[in-house]
Protein backbone atom coordinates (compact mmCIF):
# COMPACT_ATOMS: atom_id res chain seq x y z
CA UNK A 1 0.00 0.00 0.00
CA UNK A 2 1.41 3.45 -0.80
CA UNK A 3 2.49 5.31 2.35
CA UNK A 4 -0.55 7.54 1.98
CA UNK A 5 -3.26 5.67 0.13
CA UNK A 6 -5.71 7.82 -1.74
CA UNK A 7 -9.44 7.11 -1.82
CA UNK A 8 -12.12 8.53 -4.09
CA UNK A 9 -15.40 9.34 -2.31
CA UNK A 10 -18.26 9.46 -4.81
CA UNK A 11 -21.78 10.69 -4.13
CA UNK A 12 -24.58 10.28 -6.60
CA UNK A 13 -27.84 12.05 -7.42
CA UNK A 14 -29.55 14.28 -4.88
CA UNK A 15 -26.89 13.89 -2.22
CA UNK A 16 -25.94 17.53 -2.79
CA UNK A 17 -29.27 18.32 -1.06
CA UNK A 18 -28.36 16.59 2.20
CA UNK A 19 -29.46 18.66 5.16
CA UNK A 20 -32.64 19.83 3.47
CA UNK A 21 -33.71 16.64 1.70
CA UNK A 22 -36.06 14.43 3.79
CA UNK A 23 -34.21 15.14 7.04
CA UNK A 24 -36.34 12.55 8.87
CA UNK A 25 -34.64 9.94 6.65
CA UNK A 26 -31.23 11.39 5.88
CA UNK A 27 -30.63 13.64 8.88
CA UNK A 28 -29.75 17.31 9.03
CA UNK A 29 -26.07 17.14 8.17
CA UNK A 30 -25.10 18.69 4.85
CA UNK A 31 -22.84 16.91 2.40
CA UNK A 32 -20.08 19.37 3.33
CA UNK A 33 -20.47 18.37 6.98
CA UNK A 34 -20.41 14.66 6.19
CA UNK A 35 -17.29 15.21 4.11
CA UNK A 36 -15.62 17.17 6.92
CA UNK A 37 -16.27 14.31 9.36
CA UNK A 38 -14.95 11.78 6.88
CA UNK A 39 -11.89 13.90 6.08
CA UNK A 40 -11.02 14.11 9.77
CA UNK A 41 -11.51 10.36 10.15
CA UNK A 42 -9.30 9.74 7.10
CA UNK A 43 -6.61 12.02 8.53
CA UNK A 44 -6.42 9.88 11.69
CA UNK A 45 -6.08 6.80 9.48
CA UNK A 46 -3.38 8.32 7.27
CA UNK A 47 -5.52 8.23 4.14
CA UNK A 48 -6.00 10.99 1.57
CA UNK A 49 -9.43 11.61 0.13
CA UNK A 50 -10.82 13.21 -2.96
CA UNK A 51 -14.52 13.99 -3.20
CA UNK A 52 -16.90 14.15 -6.12
CA UNK A 53 -20.69 14.46 -6.25
CA UNK A 54 -22.83 14.49 -9.36
CA UNK A 55 -26.45 14.17 -10.31
CA UNK A 56 -25.37 12.58 -13.60
CA UNK A 57 -24.54 8.92 -14.04
CA UNK A 58 -22.03 9.61 -16.81
CA UNK A 59 -20.15 12.20 -14.78
CA UNK A 60 -19.69 9.69 -11.94
CA UNK A 61 -18.44 7.10 -14.42
CA UNK A 62 -16.08 9.62 -16.06
CA UNK A 63 -14.63 10.51 -12.67
CA UNK A 64 -14.06 6.85 -11.80
CA UNK A 65 -12.24 6.31 -15.10
CA UNK A 66 -10.20 9.46 -14.73
CA UNK A 67 -9.14 8.67 -11.13
CA UNK A 68 -8.42 4.98 -11.68
CA UNK A 69 -4.62 5.26 -11.71
CA UNK A 70 -4.50 7.92 -9.00
CA UNK A 71 -6.56 6.31 -6.22
CA UNK A 72 -6.37 2.92 -4.57
CA UNK A 73 -9.99 2.53 -3.51
CA UNK A 74 -13.49 3.97 -3.68
CA UNK A 75 -16.22 4.78 -1.16
CA UNK A 76 -19.45 5.32 -3.05
CA UNK A 77 -22.96 6.36 -2.16
CA UNK A 78 -24.62 5.91 -5.55
CA UNK A 79 -27.98 7.33 -4.36
CA UNK A 80 -30.86 5.94 -6.41
CA UNK A 81 -28.40 4.71 -9.07
CA UNK A 82 -27.79 1.91 -6.56
CA UNK A 83 -31.00 0.29 -7.60
CA UNK A 84 -30.72 0.27 -11.39
CA UNK A 85 -27.44 1.57 -12.82
CA UNK A 86 -25.74 -1.30 -14.60
CA UNK A 87 -23.49 1.29 -16.24
CA UNK A 88 -22.13 2.41 -12.88
CA UNK A 89 -21.86 -1.20 -11.77
CA UNK A 90 -19.84 -2.03 -14.89
CA UNK A 91 -17.62 1.03 -14.37
CA UNK A 92 -16.71 -0.09 -10.85
CA UNK A 93 -15.93 -3.55 -12.15
CA UNK A 94 -13.99 -2.14 -15.10
CA UNK A 95 -11.63 0.02 -13.06
CA UNK A 96 -10.93 -2.93 -10.77
CA UNK A 97 -10.54 -0.80 -7.65
CA UNK A 98 -11.87 -2.07 -4.33
CA UNK A 99 -15.10 -0.20 -3.60
CA UNK A 100 -17.39 0.02 -0.58
CA UNK A 101 -21.03 1.00 -1.07
CA UNK A 102 -22.43 3.25 1.67
CA UNK A 103 -25.89 4.61 2.43
CA UNK A 104 -27.13 6.98 5.09
CA UNK A 105 -30.50 5.27 5.42
CA UNK A 106 -31.25 1.62 6.04
CA UNK A 107 -32.08 0.28 2.58
CA UNK A 108 -33.62 -2.83 4.04
CA UNK A 109 -36.13 -0.94 6.19
CA UNK A 110 -37.55 1.20 3.37
CA UNK A 111 -39.46 0.67 0.11
CA UNK A 112 -39.10 -2.66 -1.62
CA UNK A 113 -37.20 -1.20 -4.61
CA UNK A 114 -34.40 0.03 -2.34
CA UNK A 115 -33.59 -3.49 -1.16
CA UNK A 116 -32.04 -4.28 -4.50
CA UNK A 117 -28.55 -3.01 -5.17
CA UNK A 118 -27.05 -3.75 -8.57
CA UNK A 119 -23.83 -2.15 -7.26
CA UNK A 120 -23.30 -4.45 -4.25
CA UNK A 121 -22.03 -7.46 -6.25
CA UNK A 122 -18.99 -5.47 -7.44
CA UNK A 123 -18.24 -3.98 -4.01
CA UNK A 124 -16.32 -5.55 -1.17
CA UNK A 125 -18.93 -4.39 1.39
CA UNK A 126 -22.16 -2.47 1.83
CA UNK A 127 -22.74 -0.28 4.89
CA UNK A 128 -26.20 1.23 5.32
CA UNK A 129 -28.42 2.82 7.92
CA UNK A 130 -25.87 4.60 10.06
CA UNK A 131 -26.14 8.15 8.75
CA UNK A 132 -22.76 9.82 8.28
CA UNK A 133 -21.20 6.98 10.26
CA UNK A 134 -21.86 4.72 7.27
CA UNK A 135 -19.18 6.65 5.36
CA UNK A 136 -16.68 6.35 8.23
CA UNK A 137 -17.33 2.65 8.64
CA UNK A 138 -17.17 2.21 4.89
CA UNK A 139 -13.75 3.85 4.79
CA UNK A 140 -12.56 1.60 7.62
CA UNK A 141 -13.79 -1.48 5.76
CA UNK A 142 -11.89 -0.33 2.68
CA UNK A 143 -8.70 0.34 4.65
CA UNK A 144 -8.89 -3.11 6.29
CA UNK A 145 -9.33 -4.70 2.88
CA UNK A 146 -6.41 -2.79 1.39
CA UNK A 147 -4.16 -3.62 4.37
CA UNK A 148 -5.06 -7.30 4.16
CA UNK A 149 -4.30 -7.32 0.44
CA UNK A 150 -0.97 -5.71 1.11
CA UNK A 151 -0.15 -8.19 3.86
CA UNK A 152 -0.72 -11.09 1.47
CA UNK A 153 1.28 -9.36 -1.23
CA UNK A 154 -1.59 -9.47 -3.71
CA UNK A 155 -2.44 -6.66 -6.06
CA UNK A 156 -4.62 -3.67 -5.34
CA UNK A 157 -7.15 -4.78 -7.84
CA UNK A 158 -10.36 -5.98 -6.26
CA UNK A 159 -10.69 -8.98 -8.51
CA UNK A 160 -14.49 -8.89 -8.36
C1 LIG B 1 -29.38 6.58 -0.30
C2 LIG B 1 -30.52 5.57 -0.44
C3 LIG B 1 -31.07 5.56 -1.86
O4 LIG B 1 -32.14 4.63 -1.96
C5 LIG B 1 -31.59 6.93 -2.21
O6 LIG B 1 -32.06 6.94 -3.54
C7 LIG B 1 -30.58 8.00 -1.99
C8 LIG B 1 -29.82 7.96 -0.76
C9 LIG B 1 -28.86 6.69 1.14
O10 LIG B 1 -27.78 7.21 1.34
O11 LIG B 1 -29.56 6.28 2.08
O12 LIG B 1 -30.46 8.93 -2.77
O13 LIG B 1 -28.29 6.15 -1.11
Q: Cβ(104) to ligand 1 under 6 A?
A: yes
Domain ranges across the chain: 6-152
DSSP, res 65: H
- The residue whose CA has the least distance to atom 9 of ligand 1 is 103
Element (H, E) at 74: strand 73-77
Q: Cβ(114) to ligand 1 under 6 A?
A: yes
pLDDT tens string 90-148:
999 999 999 999 999 999 999 999 999 999 999 999 999 999 999 999 999 999 999 99
Cα–Cα distance measured from residue 26 to residue 132, given in angstroms and rounded to the nearest whole number: 9
Cα–Cα distance measured from residue 37 to residue 31, given in angstroms and rounded to the nearest whole number: 10
Ligand 1: distance of its center to the CA of 19 in Å? 13
Cα–Cα distance measured from residue 53 to residue 111, given in angstroms and rounded to the nearest whole number: 24
Which candidate in 24, 41, 83, 103 is catalytic? 103
pLDDT tens string 23-56:
999 999 999 999 999 999 999 999 999 999 999 9
- Torsion angle of C-alpha atoms 36, 124, 144, 2, degrees rounded to 10: -80
Q: Cβ(138) to ligand 1 under 6 A?
A: no
* Fold of the CATH domain 6-152: Rossmann fold (3.40.50)
Percent of the chain having pLDDT more than 90?
A: 90
Ligand 1: distance of its center to the CA of 114 in Å? 8
pLDDT confidence bin for 152, thresholds 50/70/90: confident
Give the pTM.
0.95
Amino acid sequence: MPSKPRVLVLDGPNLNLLGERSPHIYGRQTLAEVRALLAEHARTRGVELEFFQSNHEGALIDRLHEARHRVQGVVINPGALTHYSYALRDAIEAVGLPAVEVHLSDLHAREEFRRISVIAPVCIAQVSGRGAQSYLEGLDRLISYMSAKEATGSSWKSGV
